[in-house]
Amino acid sequence: MASHTGELKLDAAVRVQALHRSFNEAGGVLNGLDLDIAPGEFVALLGRSGSGKSTLLRALAGLDRGVAGHGRIAVPERVSVVFQDSRLLPWKRLLDNVVLGLRVPGAAERGSQTLAEVGLAGREKAWPHELSGGEQQRASLARSLVREPQLLLADEPFGALDALTRIRMHTLLRRLCEVHRPAVLLVTHDVDEAIVLADRVIVLDDGVVRHDARIDLGTRRSQADPAFARLRAELLHELGVEDDHDAVRGRSTLDERAAS
């Protein structure tokens, strides 16, 4: 990591100050962005395409070598990334994928434990292509968590999954985060997903934080809750989308049935 962790205090896992990034002369993708994330805090990052969500995430992950820009980024020592594709190496068995590059005593055992945690117990010897999309993404979650990250960066990790699998993954991710307590930055385009999962939702627009809302809905979050709907409408408004509730009532009741 290019940044140093020396000045990090306990009050923040991530500190981003006046971050600028641009891919061409015309204009910046990030224009002086400031963001703090507390240890153990789950932050969902919303924004239209091109708003700089992924650019920010890649900057935090240290994957934006060669991109023009300036600003300060401080991240913890142990950062894990979950990509939209599971990115399992097809030539490695599941356990070898999970513990790749892990240099701790008893790595294999810890890998097996983490696989069990994501519901893949006994699949250590499976090849990645033998797994379903949801299972592959769970394995990739295990690969991230086995490193005991202080910061988990997730770039639309459930974007390629079907709706039912996605709901199961939400439950799993919440449970895992309660156990491991990493700070999380989840990039998503799904407003419902953001509200269901996060402690705090941030809307990015034009390279700066446009909206920053804490979510106080408790641990049981239902889309039937009027507060949920209000928050949803508010966030959609921030994203520049007007949602007509009556028009989509039929669809949302279907979603609830699937969720329960």
Q: Which residues bind other proteins (CB under 8 A)?
A: 61-63, 79-81, 83, 85, 87, 89-93, 96, 100-102, 127, 129-130, 143, 147
Tell me the backbone φ, ψ of residue 239, rounded to 5 degrees: -85, 0
Cα(50)–Cα(73) distance, rounded to whole angstroms?
Answer: 21
User: Measured from the CB of residue 17, what is the shortest distance to other proteins in angstroms?
Assistant: 23
| Contact status, residue 217 vs residue 174, Cβ threshold 8 Å | no
Q: Which is nearer to other proteins, 158 or 195 (CB)?
A: 158
Pick between residue 86 and residue 188 the one whose CB is nearest to other proteins.
86
Amino acid at 230: R
Query: Which is closer to other proteins, CB of 184 or CB of 239?
Result: 184
Question: In this complex, which beta carbon is closest to other proteins, that of residue 146 or of residue 191?
Answer: 146
Q: In what order do the strands lie in the sheet with 30-37?
A: 30-37, 14-22, 68-74
Using the minimum distance from each CB to other proteins, give the nearer residue, 125 or 237. 125
Of 179, 170, 181, 191, the residue nearest 241 (C-alpha): 191
Q: In the complex, what is the shortest distance from the CB of residue 54 to other proteins, in angstroms, rounded to a whole number?
A: 13
* Residue with Cβ nearer other proteins (130 or 256): 130
Q: Which amino acid is at 67?
A: V
Rounded to the nearest whole angstrom, what is the least distance from the CB of residue 91 to other proteins in the complex? 4
The minimum distance between CB 100 and other proteins, in angstroms, equals 6
The nearest distance, CB 61 to other proteins, in angstroms, is: 6
Three-class SS of residue 22?
strand
Q: If you search the block for the tokens 């034009």, which residue do you land on?
A: 206
**Cβ of residue 36: shortest distance to other proteins, in angstroms?**
22
Whole-Å CA distances, 128 to 99, 123, 142, 160:
14, 10, 13, 16
Measured from the Cβ of residue 159, the count of other Cβ atoms closer than 10 Å reads: 15
